[in-house]
Amino acid sequence: MAQEPQEYIQQKVNPILENLVTQLLLERPEQLAPFMIKWLSQNSKTPAAAALTEGVNVLSELKLEMEKLQEEVRELEVQVEAKRGDKSGQLMVDALQSVEESEDDEEDVMPPPALATRGHRASVSAEVYGQWNPEKDFEAPVYEKSDDQKDRLAKVLKESFLFSGLEPQDFKIVIDAMQEKVVEKDTRLINQGEDGDCLYVVEDGQMNCYIRRPDGSEEMVKECTAGDAFGELALLYNCPRAASVQAVQRSVLWELDRESFNNIVKKAAIARREQLEEFLQKVPVLKGMDAYERTSLCDVLQPVTFAEGGIIVQQGDIGDVFYILQEGFATVSKVYVPGTPTKEVLKLGPGDYFGELALLKGEPRAASVVALTECKCYTLSRRTFNRLLGPLEEILRRNATKYD
């Protein structure tokens, strides 16, 4: 190669990789390879893409050359064994093996190259701590708040996917570490492509997220209202901002810095998101949702547990929650004529959902649901259900006949 590997990677390969990774995080395709090939072909006219293509070709040539050399080494080993069946021949083979192992060891201990050159950060993956990047002792900042502010913030965070699963002590630390931020209407708070060092949680108002398309136009992809978090992708994956965010109206936000997020929230959030996404992919009724819609659903689902024999839903009650059963079994029963015995309609197991009729039709609960075993469910509030339902509404309405 005409340039040193590190310089080549930083100047030519990184720009296209950064854009590709950002697009992957935004769209989260099920099949990575076809998506990446299509994206690269569509952007092949850019200098960065051309550089990446050149790099791929060079790497392919180097791989072929390496395979040839390895084959020659194996042939030499056979010749040495055949001509020198003594100790010296074995020593030669051992020496060749030692050289190969030494080269492998050198590759293992080299620190990974930086994948980005803009700004003060140089990575598009989650931060990794090691010999060249030691983890530092951390003490969360404390910003004074009134009791009223703490109560308001706690209420908001309990509605947020990122924070609802925190242990009580960690929850308190996060509340202390957050700062209140008021933004006026039409304020562009985040710009796509910039480095991100904080996330925000909406207490009041509305913030819209926009993605810049190749033709320069912007498309609104998400509305963030009370309880929603945004800006977390840049912290979860240590990548540039994946979208721009602008205030639709005067909004009250709470800001959390990168260090506090990484040390308190990040590990729990990543583990929970991965577990929930894996579960949602197995829920039949969610097959119609794309990766982005499923990710949005992950952000707002709240866990709740019911003991064996517990009443999850009572027929006739006003319903404002939709349920997806994660673990356990439950029975659905219904009274068709007042004063007559209850009749079992069906049984529910992991992946089944219920409670949608009251939200779809605005009517009281059509049936009762009782836990046959301990049941772990994910719930969705009426407000969020109406906002995210989108492509599922027709499916849910069609499936509503199962209770008849």
**C-alpha separations of 395 from 163, 320, 401 in Å:** 31, 19, 11
For residue 220, give the H/E element and its range.
Answer: strand 218-224
Output DSSP code: residue 80: H
> How far is residue 111's CA from residue 244's CA, in Å, rounded to a whole number?
33
Q: How far is CA 23 from CA 185, 212, 213, 224, 298, in A?
A: 28, 11, 11, 20, 19
**Cα torsion angle, 263, 268, 273, 278, sign:** positive
Q: What phi, psi does 341 have (nearest 5°)?
A: -60, 155
On whether 241 is known to bind a ligand per the annotation, the reply is yes
SS3 70: helix
Q: Find the helix or strand (DSSP H, E) in which 256 lies.
A: strand 251-257
232 is in an annotated binding site: yes
**266: closest CA among 192, 207, 199, 181?**
199
Distance between CA atoms of 359 and 357, rounded to whole angstroms? 5
Backbone phi and psi for residue 219, each to the nearest 5 degrees, phi listed first: -120, 130
Q: Tell me the HSE value of 79 on the side-chain side, using a 13 A CA sphere.
A: 7
Q: Which of 142, 150, 117, 154 is nearest to 257 (CA)?
A: 142
Which amino acid is it at 82?
A: A
CA atoms within 13 A on the CB side of 157: 27
What span, in angstroms and rounded, lies between the C-alpha atoms of 355 and 379? 10
Q: Which residues are annotated as a binding site?
A: 232, 241, 356, 365
Give the residue numbers of the binding site for 3',5'-cyclic AMP. 232, 241, 356, 365
